[in-house]
Amino acid sequence: MGSYIPNTETDRSEMLAAMGRKSIDELFANIPENVRIKDLNIPKGMAELDVTRAIASLAGENKIFSVVFRGAGAYKHYIPAAVKRITANETFTTAYTPYQAEISQGILQSIFEYQTMICELTGMDAANASVYDGASAAAEAMNMCRDRGKNNIYVSGTAHPQVIETIRTYCFGYGIPVIMIPKNTDGKTDLTALKNLLADDKAAAGIYIQSPNFFGLVEDIPGASEIAHANGALLATGVNPISLGLLESPGALGADIALGEGQPLGMPLAWGGPYLGFIACKNSLMRKLPGRIVGETTDTKGERAFVLTLQAREQHIRREKASSNICSNEAHCALTAAVYLSVMGEEGFAEAARQCHSKAIYTAKQISAISGYSLVYDGEFFNEFVTQCPDTEKALKVLEKDGILGGYPLGKSQLLWCVTELNTKDEIDRMACILKEATL
Amino acid sequence: MKLIFEKSRPGRGCSILPPCDVPEASIPQSLARKKPAGLPCLDENEISRHYSTLAKRSFGVNDGFYPLGSCTMKYNPKVNEELARLPGFTDIHPLQDACTVQGCLRILDLAASYLNEISGMDAMSFQPAAGAHGELTGLLLFKRYHQSRGDSARTKIIIPDSAHGTNPASAAMAGFEVVNIPSGADGCVDLAALKAVLGPDTAGLMLTNPNTVGIFDPNITEITRLVHEAGGLNYYDGANLNAIMGIVRPGDMGFDVVHLNLHKSFSTPHGGGGPGSGAVGCEKNLAPFLPRSGTELEVAGQAQSIGRVRAFNGNFLIVVRAAAYLLTLGKEGIPDVAKNAVLNANYLMEKIRGKFPPAYEGPCMHEFVISVEKLKETHGVSALDIAKALQDRGMHPPTIYFPLIVHEALMVEPTETESKETLDDAARTFLSLFDEAEKHPESLHAAPMNSAIGRPDDVKAARQPVLRFRC
């Protein structure tokens, strides 16, 4: 049996003797006899080497694709070596929520710097210190939009399906309706439909539109913002943070809240988690942000200091009236994002975005040139796009044989492709070549 | 200390990406970013030093004793970290076909089988990303369950006044009305107060046991029976499971739904506030309502599910760490954790009780609450002062001002991974602080003296919020 307990038999006897107790069991006297268990029906414990063998063998049962052209909400980007090493520091991994500011200045400052970077990327005034993931960030953001009797939430059908479902789950909790904004034939949000829906709704609270959307297309955020604001509603925009190295920020385009999945900022795919949700907003909404927020202040000597602030929103103070129930968040993931953005730097980050875009355009051209394949939508896209495909199952199978994870199948005849700076021209050409051969 | 932005110099940077190997594409000017994001420009050495300095200005379990009550800051085994970094886990896309992720699915299955046995539940979901996220999920199960029976009158959740703040906040998010009930003089549920609020509008009860004052409620089976009789369900907040795992199971105590904080009881690192994992277990009759799972974006055939609470498969790498820990400890190791956590807490409590009397009598479980109310009256030294002075003595302070029902509370949780010597040292530190408080109370008001900063101005931070640097 493995164990991390230092107490020896001698220690235990000495400790019990010091307390005037005969056995540890005496300390459990409050537990009624009839509910105590004799024995757990699980295997005996194992030594570290055996555990390593067992878990590594399970890791070995997964197929690692050396080449990935799949995104759909989870993105394989290059993670600089410095990011992995710096964030593995045990002080960062083993600390708790920084309640005691004086001995948590480092973590608090790292969060303050993270908040600044998220504000810079999104063009916003304030950011929280992370929520669970992009989908729950969207759900929390929609809750931020609610205000005095205004409860109706509008969600575009072009958003990520699991984000839509998460918003629905949270709204089921609140007992408020979710109204879907239809998707247009061009693959984007039907803004005319949105205008008509809002015209008759005095209780419209918030609108959620993702851009680039689930199909990779850049949405008309200024147009959506104008319609939202003309009808007294707020606009929350979901973004891929990497796209913000190239595309205009949601803040500059008129969104009130920007949010998204932070995983592309230095976190591995990891079969879905831990991921990172971020939310940033205009000053007017600052006090409605969920979760932790770090603020700058001064200490007794007048020196710069950082603290968890605006805690009157939080569950440990406000209880059932809190803006959210978040306690544990994804602080270490936020740290990772901050280190990633520092290592990439302003120019490196913009270059990563440009390469994602350029390589996606190149890939789209190569795939479209194959018989039976064509781009489904002609709008501008960042690094994801949808193509027709004669037989998605067959196409994915031939790619898999070559260690390539192809696009995400949208039914039997369409694939959603994703390209990042990691995909080389050789890989792209090889992939296109395999697809072409398969159609012959 | 300078911010990373203040260290930035235009032109500096790290060399990460090779030149683009395909023709450069352009986007319409109307869509392009006008002003570059103000990210810092530094070389790798400067970045490494910056974060190394930040680490030195922080305190983790690795840096010393961390008896943060209700947070279970136990040692995080190194092997778990290694295993969670295996490429066979980190490089797997969440939307890979099920036949290519059998290892991931088996990790979930393995962790579920252990945790179901430990909690006495039938089914487990790993989608919730934290304890409070699990609470929300569990309460939505309650809501769906009552709805499925056409019982729409059950709108209230009963919560003791000693509960973690997440409980009432989660209940509100799930659309329930919160009914607070006072705790008895012993810190346990007051049965009369409970009976008085139970009725046809009761959706359920949320409870942690041992409770937030560190005591196992001896009436637990009576409490859960009363709630069931009234037609409500019982929710077990697993924050304090470390004290009882392998000894008694929430399911056997009459709970219908539990969440387990994998980042507390099962030794996964807290990371300065997360990521956690709030696995939710439930009895068979509630299992159809659990969040949807699967390796596809839309999974059919789970019509009764409450839906997703986040995208994809939860904080999977946290589950890997917990699975490694469960395999390591196994059948005998799990109850041994509980026994040693309880032994350590009682030992430390006994050693300091002469000066710091516990707020409640009798043996504690894995944590205990002391009140320095008297010290505040006689010498003006508060729980906050004690906490700040402990920092100067190389120890992370206990949780302070919680639970809310104890005045000037300090909540101490040593965990099972501390040695007798560490506890003896901590006891000496506590006792010497008491003497200091009596003799030189002013020195405690001035603490901490050796930390990176003196006490910060919280009021200024909240009144004039500065939440970002202006680049």
Report, as an integer, the average pLDDT of B180-191: 92
B154 shares a domain with B43: no
Q: Is residue B433 included in any domain, yes or no?
A: no
The two three-digit tokens of residue A81, written as one number: 């070596």
Return the sign of the alpha-carbon dihedral for residues A406, A410, A413, A414: negative
Q: How far is B310 from chain A (nearest CA, A)?
A: 5
Interchain pair A93, B269: CB under 8 A: yes
Residues from chain A contacting residue B313 (CB–CB below 8 Å): 271-273
Instruction: Say which residues have a Cβ less than 8 Å from residue A64's Cβ, sequence separation at least 6.
Output: B87, B88, B91, B92
Task: Give the DSSP per-residue string, A189-247.
Answer: B-HHHHHHHHHT-TTEEEEEEESS-TTSBPP-HHHHHHHHHHTT-EEEEEE-GGGGGTB
Q: How far is B378 from chain A (nearest CA, A)?
A: 25
Q: In whole angstroms, what is the distance from residue B125 CA to residue B132 CA?
A: 14
Angle of helix A161-174 versus helix B131-148 axis, rounded to 10: 70
Mean pLDDT score of chain B: 96
Query: Quick one: pLDDT band at residue B297, thresholds 50, 70, 90?
Result: confident
Residues from chain A contacting residue B347 (CB–CB below 8 Å): 15, 18-19
Give the best residue of A36, A39, A94 to mutate against chain B (max B CB count within 10 A): A94
pLDDT at position A141, please?
Answer: 98
Query: Which tens digit of pLDDT belongs to each residue from A151-190?
Result: 999 999 999 999 999 999 999 999 998 999 999 999 999 9
Domain boundary among B326, B351, B386: B326
Q: How far is B84 from chain A (nearest CA, A)?
A: 9
Q: In whole angstroms, what is the distance from residue B81 CA to residue B79 CA?
A: 5
Q: Is residue B308 included in any domain, yes or no?
A: yes
Interchain pair B27, A45: CB under 8 A: no
Interchain pair B20, A18: CB under 8 A: no
B97 shares a domain with B47: no
Place of tokens 């922080």: B58
Report, as an integer, the average pLDDT of A357-365: 98
The two three-digit tokens of residue B151, written as one number: 């019982």
Q: Are B137 and B309 in contact (CB under 8 A)?
A: yes
Q: In whole angstroms, what is the distance from residue B17 CA to residue B412 CA?
A: 49
Q: In whole angstroms, what is the distance from residue B103 CA to residue A353 CA?
A: 33
Query: Quick one: pLDDT band at residue B295, thresholds 50, 70, 90?
Result: confident
Report, as an integer, the average pLDDT of A205-231: 98
Q: Is the pLDDT of residue B301 over 70?
A: no
Residues from chain A contacting residue B320 (CB–CB below 8 Å): 55
Q: In whole angstroms, what is the distance from residue B153 CA to residue A343 CA?
A: 55
Q: How far is A321 from chain B (nearest CA, A)?
A: 7
Query: Quick one: pLDDT band at residue A40, thresholds 50, 70, 90?
Result: very high
Angle of helix A425-439 versus helix A331-368 axis, rounded to 10: 50
Backbone angles phi, psi at A153, to 5 degrees: -110, 130
Cis check: omega of the bond before B414, within 30 degrees of 0? no
Residue of chain B nearest A27, judged by CA positions: B363
Amino acid at B249: R
Return the sign of the alpha-carbon dihedral for residues A308, A311, A314, A318: positive
Return the sign of the alpha-carbon dihedral for residues A369, A373, A376, A381: negative
Place of tokens 């030992």: B347
Q: In whole angstroms, what is the distance from residue B330 CA to residue B328 CA?
A: 6
Q: Is the pLDDT of residue A243 over 90?
A: yes
Interchain pair A2, B333: CB under 8 A: yes
pLDDT at position A274, please?
Answer: 98
Nearest beta carbon to residue B17 from set A4, A92, A352: A352
Backbone angles phi, psi at A92, to 5 degrees: -65, -40
Task: Please list the residues that pair with B159 across neighbouring strands.
Answer: B180
Question: A200 vs A257, which has greater pLDDT?
Answer: A257
Which domains can be identified in chain A, with CATH numbers? 67-77+346-439 (3.90.1150.10), 81-340 (3.40.640.10)
B269 shares a domain with B155: yes
Q: In whole angstroms, what is the distance from residue B79 CA to residue B89 CA?
A: 15
Residues from chain A contacting residue B452 (CB–CB below 8 Å): 102-103, 105-106
Report, as an integer, the average pLDDT of B326-342: 98
Percent of chain A with pLDDT over 70: 100
Q: Is residue B288 included in any domain, yes or no?
A: yes
Residue of chain B nearest A94, judged by CA positions: B60
Task: Please list the residues that pair with B399 across neighbouring strands.
Answer: B411
| Residues shown for chain B | 471
Domain boundary among B285, B300, B326: B326
Residue B294, CA distances (Å) to A68, A73, A274, B98, B439 in order: 20, 15, 17, 8, 63
Task: Please list the residues that pair with A237 across neighbouring strands.
Answer: A209, A258
Cβ-count burial of A440 within 10 angstroms (0-12 exposed, 13-18 middle, 19+ buried)?
exposed
Residues from chain B contacting residue A381 (CB–CB below 8 Å): none
B289 shares a domain with B219: yes
Cβ-count burial of A117 within 10 angstroms (0-12 exposed, 13-18 middle, 19+ buried)?
buried
Domain that holds residue B231: 78-326
Residues from chain A contacting residue B90 (CB–CB below 8 Å): 268-270
Give the best residue of B29, B255, B310 to mutate against chain A (max A CB count within 10 A): B310
| CATH code, domain with B302 | 3.40.640.10
Q: How far is A13 from chain B (nearest CA, A)?
A: 10
B113 shares a domain with B44: no
Q: Is residue B204 included in any domain, yes or no?
A: yes
B196 shares a domain with B124: yes
Q: How far is B311 from chain A (nearest CA, A)?
A: 5
Interchain pair A341, B39: CB under 8 A: yes
Interchain pair B56, A94: CB under 8 A: no
Q: Is the pLDDT of residue B300 over 70?
A: no
Amino acid at A320: E
Q: How far is A430 from chain B (nearest CA, A)?
A: 14
B131 shares a domain with B248: yes
Cβ-count burial of B23 within 10 angstroms (0-12 exposed, 13-18 middle, 19+ buried)?
exposed
Q: Is residue B289 included in any domain, yes or no?
A: yes
Residues from chain A contacting residue B216 (CB–CB below 8 Å): 28, 30-31
Interchain pair B461, A307: CB under 8 A: yes
Query: Which tens digit of pLDDT belongs to each residue from B235-248?
Result: 999 999 999 999 99
Percent of chain A with pLDDT over 90: 95
Interchain pair B55, A106: CB under 8 A: yes
Query: Which tens digit of pLDDT belongs to each residue from A63-83?
Result: 999 999 999 999 999 999 999
pLDDT at position A317, please?
Answer: 85
Task: Please list the residues that pair with B411 across neighbouring strands.
Answer: B369, B399
Q: Is residue B378 included in any domain, yes or no?
A: no
Interchain pair A106, B267: CB under 8 A: no
pLDDT at position A85, please?
Answer: 97
Q: How far is B149 from chain A (nearest CA, A)?
A: 17
Q: Is residue B86 included in any domain, yes or no?
A: yes
Instruction: Say which residues have a Cβ less than 8 Å from residue B161's Cβ, sequence separation at least 6.
Output: B180, B181, B182, B183, B404, B405
pLDDT at position B293, please?
Answer: 79
Residue B396, CA distances (Å) to B54, B63, B388, B399, B412 in order: 17, 9, 9, 9, 11
Q: Is residue B43 included in any domain, yes or no?
A: yes
User: What letter would DSSP give residue B370?
Assistant: E
pLDDT at position A216, please?
Answer: 98
Query: Which tens digit of pLDDT belongs to each residue from B65-108?
Result: 999 999 999 999 999 999 999 999 999 999 999 999 999 999 99
Domain count, chain B: 2
Q: In whole angstroms, what is the distance from residue A98 CA to residue A181 CA?
A: 41
Report, as an integer, the average pLDDT of B443-455: 95
Query: Quick one: pLDDT band at residue A205, thresholds 50, 70, 90?
Result: very high
Interchain pair A162, B312: CB under 8 A: yes
B43 shares a domain with B100: no
Q: How far is B286 from chain A (nearest CA, A)?
A: 17
pLDDT at position A413, please?
Answer: 97
Cα angle B213-B215-B220, degrees, rounded to a multiple of 5 = 120
Query: Which tens digit of pLDDT belongs to each residue from B19-49?
Result: 999 999 999 999 999 999 999 999 999 999 9
B240 shares a domain with B200: yes
Backbone angles phi, psi at B189, to 5 degrees: -65, 130
What strand order describes the sheet that includes B399-400? B368-371, B409-412, B399-400
B144 shares a domain with B7: no
Instruction: Say which residues have a Cβ less than 8 Å from residue B222's Cβ, sequence separation at least 6.
Output: B191
Cis check: omega of the bond before B403, within 30 degrees of 0? yes
pLDDT at position B395, please?
Answer: 96
Percent of chain B with pLDDT over 90: 94
Interchain pair B330, A43: CB under 8 A: yes
Q: In whole angstroms, what is the distance from residue A262 CA to residue A114 CA?
A: 11
Q: Is the pLDDT of residue B156 over 70?
A: yes
Q: How many of the other CB atoms lie within 10 Å of CB of A426?
A: 10
Interchain pair B88, A64: CB under 8 A: yes
B231 shares a domain with B317: yes
Q: Are B201 and B146 in contact (CB under 8 A)?
A: no
Q: What is the ipTM of this complex?
A: 0.97
Domain boundary among B258, B292, B326: B326
Report, as an integer, the average pLDDT of A235-242: 98
Residue of chain B nearest A172, judged by CA positions: B174
Residues from chain B contacting residue A312 (CB–CB below 8 Å): 462
Nearest beta carbon to residue A72 from set B14, B244, B297: B297
B258 shares a domain with B119: yes
Nearest beta carbon to residue B315 from set A39, A85, A274: A274
Query: Quick one: pLDDT band at residue A197, thresholds 50, 70, 90?
Result: very high
Q: Is the pLDDT of residue A312 over 90?
A: no
Q: Is the pLDDT of residue B471 over 80?
A: no
Nearest beta carbon to residue A315 from set B50, B166, B292: B166
